[in-house]
Amino acid sequence: MTEARALVGDVPNVTLHDIPTNDAWTRDHGPTFLVSSPGSPPALVDWGYNAWGGKYPPFDLDDAVPRRVAEVTGRRRFEPGIILEGGAIDCNGRGTILTTEQCLLNPNRNPHLKQADMERFLADYLGAKKVLWLGEGIEGDDTDGHIDELARFVGERTVVAALEENRDGPNYCPLRENFERLGRMSDQDGRPLDVLALPMPRPIYYEGQRLPASYCNFYIANHVVVVPQFDDPADRKATELLGRLLPGREVIGLPARDLVWGLGAFHCITQQEPALA
């Protein structure tokens, strides 16, 4: 905590809470905050967490993070009793959720649940009116296809989706299929999606392992958008596209090669909390 305070400095609107974890990826093990309706107490969803299908034990401290957050914030806590990581879902704020079959239907999470069961949980705990299912993730992604490496909402009907130009690369076919699926999809009101391509950076390897570098792992904050940069010619193209699609926010490109060595980026290490109603 002392080191964290030294790094953050004296920022009046920042409160630090000392919550022990096994790992840094709060997008996945942290809670999903719920927006309160008038007169309702603030709340959060405490999904179960098993380190992406039991890949990286121990994860007991990470699994306890939502409960600890509820304690320090005073928020009401809902516990569905199923495994779900925050990076596996993306929402347009109007009831449409993006996710992938590879992750949410993976037997290493909830082997007893089918697609219809998952959609019911998303409806009951997140108010989902429609769930849009993409297929496979990118090479090197140990999360089994998290949506925050593949496609993200940047508006109620506008989606950016990663697209690989190299026909010989392993990501070409799965990303092309996901892009084409999105082109046939619609939102909760039946309106077609406006789908734009985000480029993929050139492959990055560490000790022979392909790393899951993707510009889709950007983070949208109140007044800024933080976009991962990989020392790649496509960095500028991705940042400029997101700047056009998210006017009113400053788009900032930050180096992310060190983060992607840990198999994540800025969206993975953040979890936004909405302002209280």
pLDDT in tens, 74-84: 999 999 999 99
**Does 40 score more than 90 pLDDT?**
no
pLDDT in tens, 139-163: 999 999 999 999 999 999 999 999 9
DSSP the chain: -HHHHHHH-S-TT--------SSS-HHHHS-EEEPPPTTPPPEEE--B--HHHHTS---HHHHTHHHHHHHHHT-EEE---SB--GGG-EE-SSSEEEEEHHHHT-TTT-TT--HHHHHHHHHHHH--SEEEEE----TT-TTSS-GGGTEEESSSSEEEEEE---TTSTTHHHHHHHHHHHHT-B-TTSPBPEEEEEEPPPP-EETTEEP---GGG-EE-SSEEEEEE-SSTHHHHHHHHHHHHSTTSEEEEEE-HHHHTTT--TTTT----PPP-
Question: Where in the sequence numbering do the catalytic residues fall?
Answer: 268
Entry pTM: 0.95
